[in-house]
Chains A and B, each alone.
Chain A
Amino acid sequence: MRLSIKAICASLALSALGAAASAQAPDAAELLARIDGNQAFESIAYVARMEIRVGGQLRVKSMRAWAMGADKAFVEFTNPEDAGTRMLKLGKDLWMYFPAEQDTVRISGHLLKEGMMGSDFSYEDALESDELSSIYSAAVTGEEELGGRRVYVVELKARAQSAKYERRVLKVDAERYVVLAEDMYARSGRLLKTMEAVKVERVSGRWYATELVLRDRLRKDSSTTMVMESLELDPALDQGMFTRAALER
């Protein structure tokens, strides 16, 4: 009988601890809303450097980019090898302008999933803004330490079949609500890419990952570090820059 009282006491104590823990864990939907509040944008302008590592080789590309939502983006490469190469993304179509040939090539469909300029970032990864809360259902599956910071482990499952990834596992900074690491999975369950935020900065009152490393898990020894050297969130942009005329100017 004494044993059973002990067991009841232990059980009650564990229940109380569990209740306290779940009371501390944020609501998943609220968490997603906070992440979106930090990383979703109406418009963005940045100067960035891409360090593409494949095998033992390093290639560096620098660029200036402007984007509005998920549909409009304009990128101009500034590194000497690609200087003047410009890209315009309108919806699911992408045009690339090559200054040496003074030629514009249209890229569409599956090619938008390909690595941009040989990097691990697809054109979509680099040029689109995801509002996670409208595409994924979320569940907080745990809490852990990552790089000295407390993170929530959040599992996202695509609500729409058109979601970029079927499943995503995020590690979200528990205080700043920034994704510090992410695993991206295909519908088959295979891990496609991983992301790791190296540097998080406060920009326009939001926490934003300004240096991150993306790894294509279907390629060995391949990673791309995107370093945002200057970043503006929700700046006023001229609609005229997202046109073919601007691309071929």
Chain B
Amino acid sequence: MGALWKIAARNVLRHKRRTVITGVVMSVGIGLFIMMDSVLVGMDRITLDNMIDYTESVAKVRTPEYVSNQLGTPLDYGVPDPEAAMRAIMAADRRITAVAPRARFVANVSNYEDSLPVVATAVDPELDARVFKLPEAVVSGSWLSAAEPGDVVIGSGLAEELGVEVGDYLVVSASTVYENVNADEYRVGGVVFTPMPYINDSGLFMAYGDADELLGTDGFASELVVAAARAPSLDATLADADGIAARAGAALPGLRVDSITELAKDYLAMRAMKSKFSYMIILVVLLIAAVGIVNTILMSVYARIREIGVLRAYGMSPKDIRRLFTLEGLLVGAVGSLGGVLLGALMDWYFVEVGMSIGAVIGSIDMGGLPLTGTLYGEWNPATMVVGFAFGLVVAFVAARIPAKRAARLEVTDALRFV
């Protein structure tokens, strides 16, 4: 067997061009497979990260009554004693980095010409900035400040539709806690462009002081939003969020704590369906790679059938010939697979470290409301690399074994005459 390994290794090195072509085909196929997997996981990650960073947070604390009535965005059923609840949440889990209160309400915003409905949110500007990335999404003006009452921050699409910019004034009208309408004038202090289309198109943020005055509330918090340290992977993010929600829930009897797993359940359900489609894409990539690998190895074996005849003439048994060619295939497969893993790792590294601007790739194509914008980062997935490597070996083994078996069965004279 040792002698066969040596001969196989020499043969692989002797047929450099053939080995290189086969190895490159395998490397590209397996590398693409690894990269595709990384990008597809990254797409899920960026979508979920955007939800966490701009609208949902890692977990939301609300009353069960509010959740039952949330479609009507009521100014009732708020979190009782939000300050105490926030302290309890911070103490519940060390992974929690910040908590902020929010009050959601539906309002109409008018530029004195048109009036548009908006989803308004009352925020504590400083605390909110610790949970969400909205201040980083400000494209003109500035994020809210408790020191500057009378300012609102609106989505870029809304600003465009109303034809307003920073410094202009808007009238915001909303139903108050007394069930009547109040309206007041606010200065556009900032405009945000976020990965969340609905914030851009109909988002309006105002500081708690202004919202209390407009709505007749007194620090009403429809929800408390929770931030946590970023987990290394999508699965870890979901697991961390579930753990945080469980602990916070235990510390807040009577309140409902929903993790991002629950808050994004529609997306996650869609993702589960999408993953089947993703596997099909990956399968197609693998099939293409497999066809390439089989083709090059088959060609290399068939091109050497006369050589097989010579080996038979020298007295090598069909079994040894079969083994030799299988070993050669495995060696080329190992080299190609290793190259594929290295190439995939290199592409992974690029996507993990540098990322790719989705906007630059898909432009302004509507993704059906999915927050799939920003920079797409890949994710390391060692299991995929192992699968890719093993796949390369198996395909090379099968591709070499079948013609080798056939060649070994040929008569010496037939093999020598084989064209």
Interchain CB contact (< 8 A) of A186 among B117, B179, B181: B181
Pairwise interchain contact B175-A219, C-beta atoms closer than 8 A:
no
Interchain CB contact (< 8 A) of B74 among A109, A165, A216: A109
Name B172's closest neighbour in chain A (CB-CB). A218
Q: Contacts A162-B179, A166-B180, A218-B173 hold; do A190 and B185 have CB atoms under 8 A apart?
A: yes
Tell me if A's interface is mostly helix, strand, loop or mixed: loop
Distance to closest chain A CB from B4 (angstroms): 74
10 extra interface residue pairs, beta carbon distance < 8 Å, beyond A161-B216, A219-B113? A109-B73, A109-B175, A113-B175, A113-B180, A161-B178, A187-B182, A190-B184, A216-B115, A219-B115, A220-B113
B108 CB contacts on chain A under 8 angstroms: 114, 218
Name A122's closest neighbour in chain B (CB-CB). B181
Q: How many inter-chain residue pairs (CB < 8 Å) link A and B?
A: 71
> Which of A109, A110, A162 has the largest number of chain B CB atoms within 10 A?
A110
Pairwise interchain contact A92-B171, C-beta atoms closer than 8 A:
no
Distance to closest chain A CB from B187 (angstroms): 15
- Residues 144-180 of B, flagged 1 when their CB comes within 8 A of A and 0 if not, give 0000000000000000000000000001011110111
Pairwise interchain contact A108-B175, C-beta atoms closer than 8 A:
no
With the chains together, A192 CA to B175 CA distance in Å? 12
Which residues of A come within 8 Å of B, CB atoms? 92, 108-111, 113-114, 122, 161-166, 186-188, 190, 192, 216, 218-221
B390 sits at the interface (CB 8 A) = no
Distance to closest chain A CB from B62 (angstroms): 17
- Residues 87-114 of B, flagged 1 when their CB comes within 8 A of A and 0 if not, give 0000000000000000001101010111
Pairwise interchain contact B74-A162, C-beta atoms closer than 8 A:
no
With the chains together, A221 CA to B114 CA distance in Å? 9
B214 sits at the interface (CB 8 A) = yes
Count, chain B residues at interface, CB 8 A: 28
A113 CB contacts on chain B under 8 angstroms: 175, 180-181
> Which of B72, B174, B216 has the largest number of chain A CB atoms within 10 A?
B72
Interchain CB contact (< 8 A) of B72 among A109, A122, A162, A218: A109
Pairwise interchain contact A110-B72, C-beta atoms closer than 8 A:
yes
A92 CB contacts on chain B under 8 angstroms: 179
* 22 residue pairs bridging A and B, Cβ less than 8 Å apart: A109-B73, A109-B175, A110-B174, A113-B175, A114-B108, A114-B117, A122-B181, A161-B178, A162-B178, A162-B179, A163-B180, A164-B180, A164-B181, A186-B182, A186-B184, A187-B216, A188-B183, A188-B184, A190-B185, A216-B115, A218-B171, A219-B110
Name A161's closest neighbour in chain B (CB-CB). B178
Pairwise interchain contact B115-A218, C-beta atoms closer than 8 A:
yes
Pairwise interchain contact B180-A218, C-beta atoms closer than 8 A:
no
Interchain CB contact (< 8 A) of A220 among B105, B112, B213: B112
Interchain CB contact (< 8 A) of A190 among B73, B106, B183, B213: B183
